[in-house]
A and B are shown apart, each in its own frame.
Chain A
Amino acid sequence: MSEKPEQDPRQPKKPYRKPELKQVPLRPEEAVLGFCKNKNTKGPGVGSCRRPVACYRQGS
């Protein structure tokens, strides 16, 4: 049996806040290291890439 912890009477009760839904944008292609947009390096992640030699980073 679990008992609900008693509220400390010295602590003021938190005011009620109506739940609200907020959307946070997620960019899946960025989150999974899905592309390299560095124009200065060749790499397997970019369309113009021909040799997998120097893809060091993803774009900002």
Chain B
Amino acid sequence: MTVEFSKENGLTSDRTVIKIADIDFSITSADPDLKIHIQETSKDFVTYGANSEITMEARWGDISTMELKGQKLFESDAVWQLFQKNGFYLFSFTSRALGPVPYKVAQIQKDLTRGEVFLHRPYFNQDVLIYPLAFPLDELLCIHYLALGRGAEIHACGVIDSLGKGHMFVGQSGEGKTTMGRLWQNEPACTVLSDDRIILRRTGKELWMYGTPWHGEAGLASSARAPLTQIYFLQSNKKNEIVQLDTTEAMARLISCSFLPFYNPEAMEFTLGFFEEVTGAVPCYELKFFPDKKVIEFIKNLKN
């Protein structure tokens, strides 16, 4: 195995293992001239474990000759489509900028533990660095794997405060997640887990929030975790105001800010039950906030 790392280029190797939310993903290259490249901002998630829950092998291919027809399960109306064929999931990724042939296809067992990624060779220059699970494949794998009874990914900023408590700030694009992350970024003894994506999981009786490598514009990404203690649904405002939400409303809002396989009834059944548990276990608020440091004191002074 060769591993090279530089701040400019990130991490490049034949095999890489990434740990996200206590799930090990291994990515192996099946071709000598296909080096796996991990972006510098994801290096906190790189680990060296031999065993992985999810094993993916990447290789070059000529996707124009591949038989991709199967039962279409989902059309994202963006770069990806999902099919099922012969007991496998087939994620197909197409970009209009590149041409009609998918630039990448991932064939994955339905339990999400093993799969292959084919990269359409003609689209890739020899000299480029490749992350075969590049957006959105890594997140899709994670979302589907979590939805099999393991947790969920939320559109949120996550912060561990100086007491070790986990605060999750939920919102759609433009509602203040990155702003909130930047406000907490230099707070003493606090950690911002991500300014864009948080994973929730339950271990025993404890609900945990995990950082992810999928950061927002502030580039904040940490592999740490903390017990989830509060959920805030963000809205910008001229002053700081907070209203506690009932479980039903909190759950609806959590669903609207989550990344879920909506086309999978079993996965949705698990997720709805999980969200009911989450919103029943921790206080959920609507937080209207003015974007300055005062909101941190405002949150610290909340009485639960």
Residues B135 and A22 in contact, CB atoms below 8 Å apart: no
Q: Return the contact of B98 from the options A28, A44, A54 (Cβ within 8 A).
A: A44
Residues of chain B within 8 A (CB-CB) of A38 are 217
Given the known interface contacts A24-B256, A56-B131, A60-B195, the answer about A50 and B78 at a Cβ–Cβ threshold of 8 Å is no
Residues A52 and B173 in contact, CB atoms below 8 Å apart: no
Is there a chain A Cβ closer than 8 Å to B5's Cβ? no
- The B interface is mostly helix, strand or loop, or mixed, namely loop
Residues A44 and B131 in contact, CB atoms below 8 Å apart: no
Q: Return the contact of A57 from the options B76, B130, B140, B214 (Cβ within 8 A).
A: B214
Residues of chain A within 8 A (CB-CB) of B134 are 43, 52-56
In the assembled complex, the CB of A39 is this many whole angstroms from the nearest CB of chain B, namely: 8
Residues A52 and B216 in contact, CB atoms below 8 Å apart: no
Given the known interface contacts A52-B134, A60-B216, the answer about A31 and B104 at a Cβ–Cβ threshold of 8 Å is no
Residues B252 and A45 in contact, CB atoms below 8 Å apart: no
As a 0/1 sequence over residues 66 to 104 of chain B, the CB contacts with chain A under 8 angstroms (1 = contact) are 000000001011111000000000000111011000011
Q: Give the residue name and chain of the A residue nearest to B153 (CB).
A: A33
Residues of chain A within 8 A (CB-CB) of B178 are 60
Given the known interface contacts A29-B78, A33-B80, A44-B95, the answer about A53 and B124 at a Cβ–Cβ threshold of 8 Å is yes
Docked pose: A57 CA to B104 CA in angstroms: 17
B252-298 interface with A by 8 A CB criterion: 252-253, 255-256, 258-260, 262
In the assembled complex, the CB of B120 is this many whole angstroms from the nearest CB of chain A, namely: 9
Q: Give the residue name and chain of the A residue nearest to B252 (CB).
A: A24
Residues of chain B within 8 A (CB-CB) of A36 are 135-136
Q: Give the residue name and chain of the B residue nearest to A49 (CB).
A: B97
Sorted nearest first, the 7 A-B pairs with minimum C-beta distance are A60-B216, A34-B78, A44-B95, A33-B136, A55-B135, A60-B178, A52-B103
